Amino acid sequence: MARILKVQDVVSEINVTPMVDVMLVVLIIFMVITPMLSKGANVNMVKTHNDIKLPDADKEDAVLIAITRDGKVFLSPGNQLVLPNELGSKVKDLQTNRSDKTVYIKADARARFSGVTDVIDNLRTAGVDSVGLISEPIQDKNRKSLSL
């Protein structure tokens, strides 16, 4: 007995299921990695009306010091926890072959002022002349901006 085989029609529709699977995986990867890309420790920075943009602070090799609410000091690049009295020597080691000698500090708005001044004092003792303080602008729509 011979069987008659039916030839199936060719499917001309695009199967989007594999593409959706790949896109969901890529989305999850970006959601996990994006918080890790922020430089330094996470702090709630001080908000100011008249902030000055410091574009060099966003560079990959910029020396950045983060002071958290509880007084811990983190030094980037590397985001390593450092004691304030060791900070001067480590910053000088990072600045040895750099043209930009500026050290950027971002402190939590609720950090003790004495902790911030200790960090600045240790940097000045080590010979750091240029210190930039990073803040966030206040988004106040009622206030008129001053232009120079």
Q: How many CA atoms lie within 13 A of 82 on its CB side?
A: 27
Question: pLDDT tier at 20 (50, 70, 90 boundaries)?
Answer: very high
Which residues is 81 bridged to in the sheet?
74
| 50, 55, 57, 58 alpha-carbon torsion, rounded to 10° | 120
Confidence of residue 43 (pLDDT cuts 50, 70, 90): confident
Both tokens of residue 110?
Answer: 């609720």
> Does the 47-137 domain belong in CATH 3.50.50.60?
no
CA distance 109 to 100: 27
Q: Across all residues in the chain, what is the average pLDDT?
A: 82
pLDDT recorded at residue 25: 94
Q: In the predicted model, is pLDDT for residue 54 greater than 50? A: yes
pLDDT level of residue 148 (50, 70, 90 thresholds): very low
What does the pLDDT read at residue 39? 61
